Amino acid sequence: QVHLVESGGGLVQPGGSLRLSCVASGVILDYYAIGWFRQAPEKEREGVLCISSKDTSDGTTVYADSVEGRFTISKDYVNNTVFLQMNSLKPEDTAVYYCATVIDDGLCPLRGKPQEFDHWGQGTQVTVSS
């Protein structure tokens, strides 16, 4: 049974950094893509970044242009964990952040839409404010 647990959220000042963790059980990272999504109040859930099952140059997909150059995604196979490193945070990054997973064919789902992923964590709140 797939189970995802996010952690690492909190309150941070603009320009600060946070690292979110997604611990995956019932998932073999060699076969699953892991995506990070976020949802701000009164907005739709949007894809942020995804890392595919394969560690290749095209294994990471950026869904949200606004995070390019500031957020990165990585995997820890030993602890079956996927990280979202967020730097240069802005108030508009404030949202509940979710990780999600789906069996892939070596590439992340193309569109970064929630319906492309099968299993979800409970989310962790990130607030960027002075």
Please give the structure tokens belonging to residue 14.
Answer: 């603009």
Mean pLDDT, to the nearest integer, of 106-117? 93
pLDDT score recorded for residue 93? 98
Q: Kindly tell me if the per-residue pLDDT of 56 is higher than 90.
A: no
Rounded distance between C-alpha atoms, residue 32 and residue 38, angstroms: 20
Residue 34: band (very low, low, confident or very high) from pLDDT cuts 50, 70, 90:
very high
Q: Kindly tell me if the per-residue pLDDT of 40 is higher than 70.
A: yes
The alpha carbon of residue 41 and the mean position of all alpha carbons in its chain are separated, in whole angstroms, by 18
Rounded distance between C-alpha atoms, residue 67 and residue 87, angstroms: 9
DSSP 29-56: TTTEEEEEEEE-TTS--EEEEEE-SS-S
Higher-confidence position of 35 and 57: 35
Q: Kindly tell me if the per-residue pLDDT of 50 is higher than 70.
A: yes
